[in-house]
């Protein structure tokens, strides 16, 4: 067997060791991991130096894949300011930054870049320009549909230098002396969800909701080439930007949990879903307020899925101005969902949201009875000072106070316990309603977290469960 000294990370095998390892199957050889062996007196050829470059490029790409594709920093996609007269309806700004493609290649933008989408070829058309395929160009000004704005590593030769002859009869010529690495920007057409009909394509916001459900709930996160780093999804209507959503496809680098995840989705995808939902929620609420409409709406009107934690509009809580309990309702979550309203110190919200992100998302396309066993805590953020007094005066309440609403999601065993008085229903008083109004005041958003289910403990001795 070969010998090595303390601290060696790699040992050199003899030819006998190689033959023996191949014969008994204990030696695995990777054809892509070989490099020239240099020694004095060896003839130096361009192919050998090229092979050495390819070796290190492959090794670098392998290491890049270990971290997973992501944006390392920057590379945000923005639209120009409203007062920018030089911008067009299809102009976007890509901020400086760098990232890694799924293939492990580095892409880099050293400065902010302003581009017009009509100037960018589709990804398959980019291949055609590079003589990789023969697909005709489509009219860029009439594009309609979802597109992914992505970065792709490319390279080209430049800077000619003198090439000396390789034979006595040869003559000197010029040849490009450098390989320049660069980053190309392209648009990739993204297919619509299978359930999406062409008749509904005019409603851009509903397509956005369907894409979010498909990507984050169905784990269909990418249909892109491994050579591309996606930055944002853009919906175009005849060449005009309808919406820009980065986190449908963008993933940011972050600390990974080193232990077992037991099938849970990876943290970058969880974070992306939360950011995507929060961005769309803010756009929806702002648009409704600007148009004079109320921010009191059902989540299913604009979303097909919710992350396990996030923000919600406080206007969806129907707290009556006169304090009548019949109007103490909520409209945002499915009505069969068990929603509990409470207050929370503002400094505890990040920890609660992070803790809930390991739970499954809430699918808003399920039948009504699917929400009967789900509980969500709707939390109104308050300052740390005075929290204890508020918590004592405002106990956790269900913002569905009328008896039919409460009974609609009770199981038969719970209804029997309710009839016997084992379960109490607390309705808000007029003073409590007034107190809730004072707490909410001008706040626009509260936070919700999906509650963990309590396990049922079965007693085989008595045949009962609790």
Residue 294's contacts (CB-CB under 8 Å, 6 or more residues apart) are 288, 315
Residue 232: closest CA among 71, 421, 21: 71
Helix (H) or strand (E) holding 19: helix 15-24
Taking the C-alpha atoms of residue 215 and residue 211, their distance in angstroms, rounded to an integer, is 6
pLDDT higher for 454 or 209?
209
Cα atoms in the Cβ-side hemisphere of radius 13 Å centred on 223: 15
Residue 57 phi, psi (nearest 5): -65, -40
Report the pLDDT value the prediction gives residue 218, as an integer from 0 to 100: 74
Report the pLDDT value the prediction gives residue 255, as an integer from 0 to 100: 46
Q: Do residues 178 and 111 lie in contact, with contact meaning Cβ atoms separated by under 8 Å?
A: no
Mean pLDDT value across the chain = 75
pLDDT tops 80 at residue 210: yes
Q: pLDDT per residue over 359-384, tens digit each?
A: 889 898 888 888 877 888 888 888 88
pLDDT tops 70 at residue 50: yes
Q: Do residues 212 and 204 lie in contact, with contact meaning Cβ atoms separated by under 8 Å?
A: no
pLDDT tops 50 at residue 144: yes
Q: pLDDT per residue over 319-359, tens digit each?
A: 644 444 445 678 888 888 888 888 888 888 888 888 888 88
Beta bridge partners of 138: none
Q: Do residues 75 and 117 lie in contact, with contact meaning Cβ atoms separated by under 8 Å?
A: no
Taking the C-alpha atoms of residue 435 and residue 383, their distance in angstroms, rounded to an integer, is 15
pTM: 0.69
Residue 207: closest CA among 225, 194, 218: 194
220-244 in b/e form (b: 16+ CB < 10 A) is ebeebeebbbbbbbbbbbebebbbb
Record the tokens describing residue 267, joined without a space. Answer: 């943290």
Quick one: pLDDT band at residue 277, thresholds 50, 70, 90? very high
Q: Do residues 251 and 267 lie in contact, with contact meaning Cβ atoms separated by under 8 Å?
A: no
Report the pLDDT value the prediction gives residue 282, as an integer from 0 to 100: 92
Taking the C-alpha atoms of residue 208 and residue 378, their distance in angstroms, rounded to an integer, is 25
Region 118-146 average pLDDT: 60
Residue 2 phi, psi (nearest 5): -65, 155
Report the pLDDT value the prediction gives residue 281, as an integer from 0 to 100: 92
Region 435-451 average pLDDT: 82
pLDDT tops 70 at residue 425: no
Domain definitions of the chain by residue range: 1-66, 68-164+172-254, 265-466
Record the tokens describing residue 56, joined without a space. Answer: 């290190």
Residue 335's contacts (CB-CB under 8 Å, 6 or more residues apart) are 368, 400, 405, 408
Residue 155 phi, psi (nearest 5): -150, 160
Record the tokens describing residue 186, joined without a space. Answer: 């392209």
Q: Do residues 117 and 187 lie in contact, with contact meaning Cβ atoms separated by under 8 Å?
A: yes
Top mean-pLDDT range of 82-96, 255-269, 296-310: 296-310
CA distances in angstroms from 240 to 41, 146, 149, 233, 234, listed in the order given = 64, 12, 15, 14, 10
Q: Do residues 115 and 91 lie in contact, with contact meaning Cβ atoms separated by under 8 Å?
A: yes
Q: Do residues 426 and 403 lie in contact, with contact meaning Cβ atoms separated by under 8 Å?
A: no
360-381 in b/e form (b: 16+ CB < 10 A) is ebbebeeeeeebeebbbbbbbb
Quick one: pLDDT band at residue 9, thresholds 50, 70, 90? low
Residue 373: closest CA among 421, 424, 337, 349: 337
Taking the C-alpha atoms of residue 280 and residue 289, their distance in angstroms, rounded to an integer, is 14
Q: Which of 85-94, 141-150, 255-264 has the lowest mean pLDDT?
A: 255-264
Beta bridge partners of 151: 185, 229
CA distances in angstroms from 266 to 74, 134, 236, 376, listed in the order given = 21, 38, 30, 23
Tokens 């920890």 locate to 351
pLDDT higher for 277 or 39?
277
pLDDT higher for 360 or 192?
360
């Amino acid at each position: 067997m070969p010998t090595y000294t303390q601290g060696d990370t790699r040992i050199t095998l003899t030819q006998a060791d190689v033959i023996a390892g191949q014969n008994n199957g204990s030696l695995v050889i990777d054809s892509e991991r070989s490099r020239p062996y240099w020694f004095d007196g060896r003839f130096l050829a361009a192919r050998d130096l090229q092979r050495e470059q390819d070796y290190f490029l492959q090794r670098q790409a392998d290491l890049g894949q270990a971290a997973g594709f992501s944006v390392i920093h920057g590379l945000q996609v923005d639209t120009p300011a409203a007062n920018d007269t030089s911008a067009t309806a299809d102009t976007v700004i890509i901020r400086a930054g760098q990232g890694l493609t799924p293939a492990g290649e580095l892409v880099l933008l050293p400065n902010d870049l302003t581009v017009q989408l009509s100037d960018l070829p589709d990804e398959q058309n980019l291949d055609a320009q590079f003589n990789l395929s023969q697909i005709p160009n489509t009219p860029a000004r009439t594009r309609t549909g979802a597109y992914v704005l992505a970065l792709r590593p490319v390279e080209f030769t430049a800077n000619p230098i003198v090439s000396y002859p390789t034979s006595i009869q040869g003559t000197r010529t010029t040849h490009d002396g450098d390989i320049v690495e660069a980053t190309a920007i392209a648009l990739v057409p993204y297919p619509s969800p299978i359930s999406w009909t062409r008749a509904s394509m005019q409603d851009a916001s509903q397509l956005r909701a369907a894409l979010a459900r498909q990507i984050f709930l169905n784990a269909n996160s990418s249909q892109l080439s491994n050579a591309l780093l996606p930055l944002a999804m853009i919906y175009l209507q005849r060449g005009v930007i309808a919406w820009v959503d980065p986190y449908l496809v963008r993933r940011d680098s972050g600390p990974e949990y080193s232990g077992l995840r037991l099938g849970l989705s990876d943290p970058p995808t969880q974070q992306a879903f939360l950011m995507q939902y929060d961005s769309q929620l803010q756009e929806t609420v702002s648009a409704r307020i600007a148009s004079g409409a109320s921010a009191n709406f059902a989540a299913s009107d604009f979303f097909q899925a919710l992350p396990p934690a996030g923000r919600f509009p406080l206007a969806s809580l129907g707290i009556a101005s006169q304090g009548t309990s019949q109007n103490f309702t909520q409209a945002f979550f499915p009505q069969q969902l068990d929603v509990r309203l409470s207050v929370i110190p503002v400094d505890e919200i990040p920890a609660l949201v992070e803790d809930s992100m390991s739970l499954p998302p809430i699918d808003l396309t399920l039948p009504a009875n699917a929400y009967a066993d789900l509980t969500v805590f709707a939390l109104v953020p308050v300052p740390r000072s005075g929290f204890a007094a508020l918590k004592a005066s405002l106990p956790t309440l269900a913002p569905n106070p009328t008896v039919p609403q409460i009974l609609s999601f009770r199981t038969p065993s719970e209804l029997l316990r309710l009839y016997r008085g084992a379960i109490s229903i607390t309705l808000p008083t007029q003073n409590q309603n007034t107190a809730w109004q004072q707490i909410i005041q001008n706040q626009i958003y509260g936070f919700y977290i999906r509650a963990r289910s309590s396990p049922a403990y079965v007693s085989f001795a008595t045949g009962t469960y609790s």
